[in-house]
Amino acid sequence: MLWYEQKSNDNIIISSRVRLARNLKDYPFYSSINNEQSKELIEIISKAIFNDRISTKNYFEKIDFDNLDKIKKYTMLEKYIVSANFLESNKPKAIIIEKNNNINIMINEEDHIRIQAINSGYNIEKCFEEANRIDNLLEESLSYAFDKQYGYLTSCVTNVGTGLRASFMLYIPMLEKYGHIQSISESISKFGMTLRGMHGEGSQAFGSIYQISNQVTLGKSEKEIIQDLKNITMQIVEREKQLRNVLKENQNIDIIDKIYRSYGIIKYCKKINFKEAMEHLSNIWIGIDTNIIDVCDINIYNIMMNIQPASVIDRFSINEKENIEIYRAKYLNEVFNK
């Protein structure tokens, strides 16, 4: 199952995400909390969601994350349902998912509560509305750690204030090919933004997929943070579009050659590692977008999500000791030879 479907018209902004960090005032923060208190938090926060007074309670599903098998856990990480911090935490934890929307609540991640809303394409306001709706529901029965001067108090000082992290997932292959990523990263950092890999902080960028998000949550309102992110993101989008138009007009033979070579490899390879597969899929994607090759009814981003290690293991019901690269190639062959 994919957590969301890519429907972005311009094939640059893949998805939008908003995350709100919250803590309860009567409990220690993550670094100091013990297991018993963590379990209490799970019960308290769960009751706040599955409350008879809340009309939306039937839309939620609670998952006891600690009792999932390892592959299911890593699949949820690959689909952006949970974070790496949540996965690696040794404290009791749980996740609550709103069944009909792209919303989840991580309990006992770096903070007591992490509300996350994801939508396809350029839908950051919708994400904020959905996350804020859940936040308001929780605050009806929970007391947050809040300071009049500093705002919401969090485990990490960079989240103090609004506790808001807004982000876009971007596909920017032409900016990457022409070596502009470093300069963009340096430029946006001056405005309190950061450019990271596809799974956020500490992750690598594969397949020209990058995540842009705010770093500053203190001293700005939620509206200001989101507007600043939108303004900077659209500048990046315009630069990417310009370079794609140049490719369409000039028909750069070196790039075209890479696109067709990648198409052949993906169609006929018999084993392939994740990094190489992502590079070839990125080349095919830009080829499709610039009308260099015609591949109908293929959603490259969803394929990228499906070739991650845990997703391959889960799809083919294999064990970790088997050669994932062979099964990854098998899946790609099936998709591109229909």
Domain boundaries, the chain: 13-241, 253-336
Whole-number pLDDT of residue 51: 78
Map tokens 């220690």 to a residue.
28
33-46: average pLDDT: 96
> Within 140-252, where are the H helices?
173-177, 181-189, 222-250
Whole-number pLDDT of residue 55: 63
Whether the per-residue pLDDT at 162 is higher than 80: the answer is yes
Question: In the structure, what pLDDT confidence band is assigned to residue 218 with cuts at 50, 70 and 90?
Answer: confident
Question: In the structure, what pLDDT confidence band is assigned to residue 98 with cuts at 50, 70 and 90?
Answer: confident
Side chain identity at 182, as an amino acid letter? Q
Superfamily of structural domain 13-241: Glutamine synthetase/guanido kinase, catalytic domain (3.30.590.10)
Whole-number pLDDT of residue 338: 81
Whether the per-residue pLDDT at 173 is higher than 70: the answer is yes
Whole-number pLDDT of residue 225: 96
CA atoms of 51 and 115, how far apart (whole Å) = 17
Whether the per-residue pLDDT at 146 is higher than 90: the answer is yes
Backbone angles phi, psi at 95, to 5 degrees: -135, 140
Q: Do the beta carbons of residue 217 and residue 225 sit within 8 Å?
A: yes
